[in-house]
């Protein structure tokens, strides 16, 4: 995408996308150690709960923004 749509050179694309790959590798190592010490179902349940809370918060923020921008308080 960066090369085709945004016309970035190859070297710049590599430098821009490398940190996310490194972060993914570190996250996999951390997840491996976490799952060794705890029950996998507990971790999955907590991640699901976190995801539901994040989606709910996002929806509420969008709703409040629409309400506040569409109301004419003056």
Percentage above 90 pLDDT, the chain = 24
Residue 14 domain-assigned (yes or no): yes
30 has a pLDDT exceeding 60: yes
Pick the more confident residue, 18 or 65. 18
Range of the domain at 27: 10-70
In SS3 terms, the chain reads as CCCCCCCCCHHHHHHHHHHHHHHHHHHHHHHHHHHHHCCHHHHHHHHHHHHHHHHHHHHHHHHHHHHHHHCCCC
**Domain-embedded: residue 4:** no
Could you give the number of structural domains in the chain?
Answer: 1
């Amino acid at each position: 995408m960066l090369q085709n749509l945004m016309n970035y050179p190859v070297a710049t694309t590599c430098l821009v996308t490398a940190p996310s790959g490194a972060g993914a590798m570190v996250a996999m190592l951390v997840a491996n150690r976490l799952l060794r010490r705890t029950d996998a179902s507990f971790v999955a349940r907590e991640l699901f709960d976190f995801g539901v809370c994040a989606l709910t918060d996002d929806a509420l923020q969008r709703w409040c923004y629409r309400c506040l921008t569409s109301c004419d308080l003056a």
